C-alpha cells in the first residue's frame, strides 16, 4: 500500500517533469493562459501549522481573450494520495487524471480550496492546461503551474515560514496603495486633475472602516465642474526631497508592469449612489506617457459597503507606466451634488519574487512608530540571510542569495555616499527607488525608511539613516557566511567577497581609533550633508565592545578569505580593545567606552557582550575563560516571568529578551552545557507557540512591552525578524560568527 502510493507519487512527479521538458523545447502549439497559484495569498511554498487554514486561489492571465479551449486540470499530490479538483465534486481521490473543464471555457480566477484541518505532511498543487479538448493530458503542449504547502509542527520550519512571509509581504502583488506610507506602495504622487485643479481632495491616512490594514483613502469632490486625481510615479532630481509630477514629458521615468494580470481595488461610497470613474494609464498622448492604452471602469455607482473591482490589463503594453491609478467625478454624473468615497487595497496582480529587497524587522503594521512598522534593519537582515543558510534547501539558498545581492546592491547604490558604508536600516518594499527618481543625479539608489507627517512632509529617522560600525560588520559576516556555505561559482563568490571588503575598508578608513587601547569607534550618526543639514553626519566617538567583537571576527575571516595579512593586523587592533574591556576580576566584558575612547562605561550592563564574547572568541584566545561571561549572565540577567525562563538584555531583569536568550542557548550548547541549553530552548519553543502577539511561527521580541536595555531603546511585544533568526540559530546550534567552527575556521 505504502509502496503503491510512493510509486504513484513518483509517476506524477515524472508527469510534471515531462511536461516541463516539453515546454522547454518549445513545442507548444497555442498561446496558453498564464496560470498562477496563490496559497494564502502568497506565491511559492508555504509552511502551515496543523490548525492553520489554507486557501488555494488560481489567478489567470489570459494572453488574448479570457475564453480558451482545451483541457484544464488541478491536481493535489499528498501523503494520502492524489486528488483532482472537479467543479461539481470538490477534490476527488483518483489515480487517473480528471479534467475540471474540457472544451471551451473562461479561465476566470477561482478559489479551489478554502479549509482547515489538513493532515501533517507535504502537499504539491498543480494547475495544468493543454489546448486539445479530448479529456486526456496531451503531453506535447501542457502548461503546468505548481505550488507547495507543508503542514508541520517543526519549530524551525515554522520560524522560517515567518521570515518567508515577511520577505514576500510587499511582493505578492504590485501595490499602488496598501496603507499610508506602506513601503510596498508605488505611484505615490497623487496629482490633481480638472479645471483649475480645484474642488477635489484626498486623505491618504483615513483610519475609519477601511477595507484592509491600518488606513485607506478618503476622496471628495465638491460637485462643481469635474475633477479627480492621477497617481503618478513622478520624478525626483538633485536635492529634492519630494517627487514632482511628470505628465509624460520626462524620459526614463516609467515603471515596467509587464506580466500584470489585473488592476484590483476596493471602493465604497460614503452614503451610496456616488458616481465615479476609476482608471489607470490615462496619459496616452505624450512622448513619454503610458505605453498602455487607458483602462477604466467607466462611471460606476458606489454602494455604502466595500466592493472589489478588477480591470484586466494583461492585453496592454505595460512596459512603461507613469500613471498607475486614478479617479474622476463630474457635476453631470453627480447632479451637482458633492460626494465622498473611499478607496483601499489598490494593486496589480503581479508577483515579484526576485525583486531586490530586505525584510521589515517588525511584523507590526499597526505599530505606533513608523520606523518600526516599515524599517528593515541591516542587522536583522544579516541574521535572516544566515537563518536561511542553516537549512540549505534550494528555496532557502535562493532567498539567502537574494539578501546577499541586496547587501551588495546597497553598498554600491547609496543616494549620497560612495565609500562602502551601509545604512542602519533600509525601507522594506523594493530596495531601489523607481525609475525617474534620481537624488544627487544617481539612478536606482536605495530607499531609506520614512513616513509622512500630518502636514505632508516626508521624514526620516536619525538612527535608520546612520551608519553604526557593528551593523556594517554584521553585513560583512552575512556575506562571508554566504560565501562559505553556498555553492556559488568562484567568480560569484568574489563578487560577495569584494563587497564585504569594501564595507570592511570603510570601517578601517573611518572608524579606526588610536585612543586608549585602540579598536574601532561606533560609526557616524544622522543625515548626509544637504542644504538643510550642511554639517552632514557626526562622527561617534564612543567605542562598543560588541562592535569590536563583530569587527574582530569579520576582519579575521576576511584575512582568511583574501590571504591579505593587513586584515589580520586590523583584527588585532580590535582585539586589543576587547582585551581592555574584559574584566578578569568579574569574569565578564564591559559594554565599551564613553566618548573619550578610554573611560569604560559602567552605567549599562548588557548581557550580549558576554554571549557574543563567548561565540566570537572562545577557541581564538585561550588566555581567558570566556565561559565565565556566561555564568555572569546566568547570575545577573536570568528572569523567570509568567511561566517562562530566559534572560533580560541588562541586569534590571524587567522581562525576558528572547534574542538574548537564544544567544545564551547557542553559547551554552557550544560550551558543552547541553542541559542548560536544552532548558532554555524548551522555553523558547513554548513562547513561539503561545505568545499572544505571535502566530505560532514568529518570535515575539520580549515578554513585556518597553523592556529596558539601559540604552536609548527598548524591546516590545512585537514579532521580530532578528529574534526569530536567533531562535533558528538556537535550535540549529548555529554560531553566526564561526558557522563552521573556530577550529576548522582557523586551520591553515
Ligand atoms: Ca487534452
Ligand atoms: Ca489599507
Ligand atoms: Ca531590562
Q: What pLDDT shows up at residue 16?
A: 47
Q: What pLDDT shows up at residue 66?
A: 58
Closest CA to 124 of 185, 46, 202, 180: 46
Q: What pLDDT shows up at residue 373?
A: 82
Least confident of 88-92, 360-364, 592-596, 729-733: 88-92
Residue 36 main-chain phi, psi, to 5 deg: -130, 130
Do 501 and 598 belong to one domain?
yes
Do 621 and 496 belong to one domain?
yes
* pLDDT, the chain, mean: 92
Which residues are paired to 638 by β-bridges? 647
Rounded to an integer, what distance in angstroms lies between the CA atom of residue 61 and that of residue 329? 30
- State the cell numbers at 428: 522594506
CA of 28 to the centre of ligand 1 (A): 13
What's the structural domain count of the chain?
A: 3
CA of 103 to the centre of ligand 1 (A): 9
CATH number at residue 143: 2.60.40
Rounded to an integer, what distance in angstroms lies between the CA atom of residue 495 and that of residue 501? 10
Domain closes at, from 299, 318, 348: 348
CA of 657 to the centre of ligand 3 (A): 8
Do 338 and 368 belong to one domain?
no
Do 314 and 455 belong to one domain?
no
CA of 627 to the centre of ligand 1 (A): 68
CA of 354 to the centre of ligand 2 (A): 24
Tell me what the mean pLDDT of segment 485-492 comes to.
97
Rounded to an integer, what distance in angstroms lies between the CA atom of residue 119 and that of residue 556? 48
For residue 108, is pLDDT > 80?
A: no
CA distances from 82 to 52, 118, 165 (A): 21, 14, 27
SS3 of residue 536 by DSSP:
coil
For the CA of 205, the nearest ligand: 2
pLDDT tens profile 140-180: 888 889 999 999 999 999 999 999 999 999 999 999 999 99
CA of 572 to the centre of ligand 1 (A): 69
Look at residue 160 and tell me if it is in a domain.
Answer: no
Q: What pLDDT shows up at residue 109?
A: 81
For the CA of 181, the nearest ligand: 2
Q: What pLDDT shows up at residue 62?
A: 67
- In order, the DSSP letters of 410-475 are HHH--SS--SSPPPSEEESEESBPPTTEEETT-SSPBP--EEE-TTS-EEE-HHHHSEEHHHHHHH
CA of 325 to the centre of ligand 3 (A): 48
List Cβ neighbours of 657 (8 Å cut-off, separation of 6 or more): 646, 647, 648, 649, 701, 702, 707, 715
Share of the chain above pLDDT 70, in %: 93
CA of 665 to the centre of ligand 3 (A): 19
Q: Which residues surround ligand 3, an ion (CB under 5 A)?
A: 648, 650, 652, 654, 708
CA of 134 to the centre of ligand 1 (A): 5
Q: Which residues surround ligand 1, an ion (CB under 5 A)?
A: 71, 130, 132, 134, 136, 138
CA of 21 to the centre of ligand 1 (A): 17
For the CA of 130, the nearest ligand: 1
For residue 612, is pLDDT > 80?
A: yes
Structural element, H or E, at residue 58: strand 54-61
Domain closes at, from 305, 323, 348: 348
Q: What pLDDT shows up at residue 744?
A: 55
Rounded to an integer, what distance in angstroms lies between the CA atom of residue 639 and that of residue 655? 6
First to last CA, the chain: 54
Do 128 and 182 belong to one domain?
no
For the CA of 133, the nearest ligand: 1
Q: What pLDDT shows up at residue 8?
A: 39
CATH number at residue 693: 1.50.10.10
Secondary structure percentages of the chain, helix, strand, coil, to 5: 30, 30, 40
Spatial contact of 653 and 707, defined as CB atoms under 8 Å apart: no
Look at residue 382 and tell me if it is in a domain.
Answer: yes
Closest CA to 482 of 571, 408, 572, 427: 408
Q: What pLDDT shows up at residue 104?
A: 78
For the CA of 211, the nearest ligand: 2
CA of 367 to the centre of ligand 1 (A): 52
Domain closes at, from 327, 348, 369: 348
Q: Which domain holds residue 143?
A: 2-151
Tell me what the mean pLDDT of segment 457-485 comes to.
96
Q: What pLDDT shows up at residue 13?
A: 44
CA of 544 to the centre of ligand 3 (A): 19
Look at residue 166 and tell me if it is in a domain.
Answer: no
CA of 72 to the centre of ligand 1 (A): 8
CA of 32 to the centre of ligand 1 (A): 13
Look at residue 336 and tell me if it is in a domain.
Answer: yes
CA of 26 to the centre of ligand 1 (A): 18
For the CA of 175, the nearest ligand: 2
CA of 137 to the centre of ligand 1 (A): 5
For the CA of 266, the nearest ligand: 2
Rounded to an integer, what distance in angstroms lies between the CA atom of residue 149 and that of residue 689? 20
CATH number at residue 192: 2.60.120.430
Spatial contact of 102 and 134, defined as CB atoms under 8 Å apart: yes
Look at residue 620 and tell me if it is in a domain.
Answer: yes
For residue 650, is pLDDT > 80?
A: yes
CA of 650 to the centre of ligand 3 (A): 5
Spatial contact of 387 and 166, defined as CB atoms under 8 Å apart: no
Do 303 and 424 belong to one domain?
no
CA of 736 to the centre of ligand 3 (A): 24
For residue 6, is pLDDT > 60?
A: no
CA of 593 to the centre of ligand 3 (A): 20
Spatial contact of 170 and 154, defined as CB atoms under 8 Å apart: no
With cut-offs at 50, 70 and 90, classify the pLDDT of residue 31: low
With cut-offs at 50, 70 and 90, classify the pLDDT of residue 347: very high
Do 576 and 456 belong to one domain?
yes
CA of 33 to the centre of ligand 1 (A): 15
Do 296 and 400 belong to one domain?
no
Rounded to an integer, what distance in angstroms lies between the CA atom of residue 299 and that of residue 279? 10
CA of 126 to the centre of ligand 1 (A): 16
Look at residue 159 and tell me if it is in a domain.
Answer: no
CA of 724 to the centre of ligand 2 (A): 26
For the CA of 647, the nearest ligand: 3
Spatial contact of 597 and 545, defined as CB atoms under 8 Å apart: no
Do 193 and 273 belong to one domain?
yes
For the CA of 709, the nearest ligand: 3
CA dihedral 89, 90, 91, 97 (to 10 degrees): 50
Do 252 and 376 belong to one domain?
no
Do 407 and 304 belong to one domain?
no
pLDDT tens profile 60-74: 776 655 567 888 889
Tell me what the mean pLDDT of segment 623-648 comes to.
97
Do 244 and 388 belong to one domain?
no
Spatial contact of 75 and 81, defined as CB atoms under 8 Å apart: no
Rounded to an integer, what distance in angstroms lies between the CA atom of residue 532 and that of residue 499? 32
Tell me what the mean pLDDT of segment 672-696 comes to.
97
Look at residue 648 and tell me if it is in a domain.
Answer: yes
Amino acid at each position: 500500500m505504502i509502496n503503491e502510493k510512493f510509486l504513484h507519487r513518483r509517476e506524477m512527479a515524472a508527469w510534471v517533469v515531462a511536461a516541463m521538458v516539453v515546454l522547454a523545447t518549445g513545442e507548444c502549439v497555442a498561446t496558453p493562459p498564464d496560470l498562477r497559484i496563490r496559497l494564502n495569498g502568497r506565491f511559492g511554498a508555504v509552511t502551515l501549522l496543523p490548525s492553520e487554514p489554507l486557501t488555494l486561489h488560481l489567478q489567470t492571465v489570459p494572453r488574448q481573450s479570457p475564453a480558451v479551449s482545451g483541457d484544464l486540470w488541478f491536481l493535489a499530490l499528498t501523503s494520502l494520495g492524489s486528488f483532482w479538483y472537479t467543479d461539481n465534486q470538490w477534490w476527488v481521490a483518483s489515480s487517473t487524471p480528471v479534467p475540471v473543464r474540457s472544451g471551451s471555457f473562461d479561465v476566470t480566477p477561482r478559489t479551489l480550496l478554502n479549509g482547515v484541518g489538513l493532515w501533517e505532511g507535504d502537499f504539491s498543487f498543480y494547475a495544468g492546461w493543454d489546448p486539445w479538448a479530448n479529456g486526456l493530458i496531451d503531453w506535447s503542449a501542457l502548461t503546468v503551474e505548481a505550488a507547495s504547502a507543508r503542514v508541520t509542527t517543526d519549530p524551525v520550519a515554522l520560524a522560517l515560514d515567518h521570515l518567508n512571509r515577511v520577505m514576500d509581504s510587499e511582493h505578492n502583488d504590485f501595490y499602488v496603495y496598501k496603507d499610508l506610507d506602506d513601503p510596498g506602495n508605488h505611484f505615490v504622487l497623487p496629482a490633481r486633475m480638472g479645471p483649475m485643479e480645484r474642488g477635489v481632495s484626498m486623505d491618504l491616512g483615513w483610519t475609519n472602516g477601511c477595507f484592509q490594514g491600518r488606513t485607506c483613502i478618503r476622496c471628495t469632490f465638491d460637485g462643481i465642474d469635474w475633477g479627480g486625481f492621477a497617481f503618478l510615479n513622478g520624478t525626483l532630481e538633485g536635492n529634492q526631497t519630494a517627487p514632482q509630477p511628470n505628465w509624460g514629458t520626462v524620459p526614463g521615468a516609467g515603471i515596467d508592469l509587464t506580466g500584470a494580470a489585473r488592476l484590483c481595488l476596493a471602493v465604497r461610497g460614503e452614503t451610496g449612489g456616488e458616481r465615479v470613474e476609476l482608471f489607470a494609464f490615462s496619459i496616452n498622448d505624450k512622448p513619454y506617457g503610458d505605453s498602455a492604452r487607458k483602462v477604466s471602469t467607466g462611471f460606476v455607482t458606489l454602494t455604502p459597503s466595500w466592493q472589489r473591482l478588477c480591470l484586466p490589463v494583461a492585453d496592454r503594453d505595460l512596459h512603461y507606466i507613469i500613471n498607475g491609478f486614478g479617479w474622476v467625478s463630474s457635476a453631470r454624473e453627480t447632479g451637482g451634488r458633492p460626494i465622498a468615497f473611499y478607496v483601499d487595497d489598490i494593486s496589480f496582480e503581479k508577483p515579484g519574487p526576485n525583486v531586490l529587497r530586505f525584510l521589515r524587522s517588525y511584523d507590526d503594521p499597526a505599530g505606533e512608530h513608523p520606523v518600526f512598522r516599515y524599517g528593515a534593519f541591516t542587522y536583522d537582515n544579516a541574521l535572516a540571510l544566515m537563518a536561511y543558510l542553516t537549512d540549505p534547501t534550494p528555496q532557502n539558498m535562493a532567498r539567502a542569495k537574494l539578501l546577499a545581492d541586496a547587501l551588495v546592491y546597497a553598498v554600491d547604490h547609496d543616494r549620497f555616499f560612495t565609500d562602502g558604508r551601509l545604512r542602519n536600516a533600509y525601507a522594506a518594499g523594493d530596495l531601489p527607488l523607481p525609475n525617474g527618481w534620481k537624488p544627487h543625479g544617481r539612478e536606482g539608489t536605495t530607499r531609506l525608511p520614512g513616513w509622512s507627517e500630518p502636514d505632508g512632509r516626508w521624514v526620516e529617522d536619525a538612527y535608520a539613516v546612520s551608519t553604526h560600525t557593528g551593523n556594517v560588520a554584521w553585513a560583512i559576516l552575512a556575506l562571508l557566511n554566504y560565501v562559505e556555505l553556498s555553492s556559488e561559482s568562484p567568480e560569484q563568490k568574489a563578487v560577495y567577497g569584494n563587497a564585504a571588503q569594501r564595507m570592511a575598508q570603510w570601517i578601517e578608513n573611518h572608524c579606526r581609533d588610536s585612543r586608549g587601547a585602540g579598536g574601532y569607534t561606533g560609526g557616524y550618526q544622522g543625515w548626509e550633508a544637504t542644504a538643510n543639514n550642511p554639517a552632514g553626519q557626526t562622527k561617534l566617538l564612543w567605542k562598543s565592545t560588541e562592535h569590536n567583537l563583530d569587527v574582530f571576527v569579520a576582519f579575521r575571516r576576511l584575512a582568511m578569505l583574501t590571504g591579505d595579512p593587513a586584515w589580520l593586523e586590523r583584527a588585532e587592533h580590535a582585539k586589543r580593545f576587547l582585551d581592555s574591556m574584559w574584566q578578569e576580576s568579574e569574569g565578564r566584558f564591559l559594554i565599551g567606552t564613553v566618548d573619550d575612547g578610554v573611560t569604560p562605561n559602567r552605567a549599562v550592563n548588557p548581557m550580549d557582550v558576554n554571549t557574543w564574547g563567548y561565540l566570537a572568541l572562545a577557541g581564538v584566545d585561550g588566555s581567558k575563560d570566556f565561559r565565565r561571561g556566561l555564568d555572569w549572565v546566568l547570575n545577573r540577567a536570568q528572569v523567570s516571568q509568567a511561566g517562562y525562563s530566559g534572560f533580560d538584555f541588562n541586569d534590571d531583569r524587567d522581562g525576558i529578551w528572547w534574542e538574548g536568550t537564544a544567544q545564551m542557548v547557542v553559547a551554552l550548547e557550544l560550551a558543552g552545557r547541553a542541559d542548560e541549553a536544552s532548558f532554555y530552548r524548551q522555553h523558547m519553543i513554548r513562547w513561539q507557540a503561545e505568545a499572544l502577539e505571535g502566530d505560532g511561527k514568529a518570535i515575539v521580541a520580549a515578554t513585556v512591552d518597553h523592556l529596558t536595555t539601559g540604552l536609548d531603546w527598548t524591546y516590545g511585544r512585537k514579532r521580530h525578524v532578528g529574534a526569530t533568526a536567533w531562535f533558528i540559530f538556537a535550535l540549529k546550534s548555529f554560531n553566526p560568527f564561526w558557522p563552521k567552527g573556530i577550529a576548522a575556521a582557523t586551520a591553515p
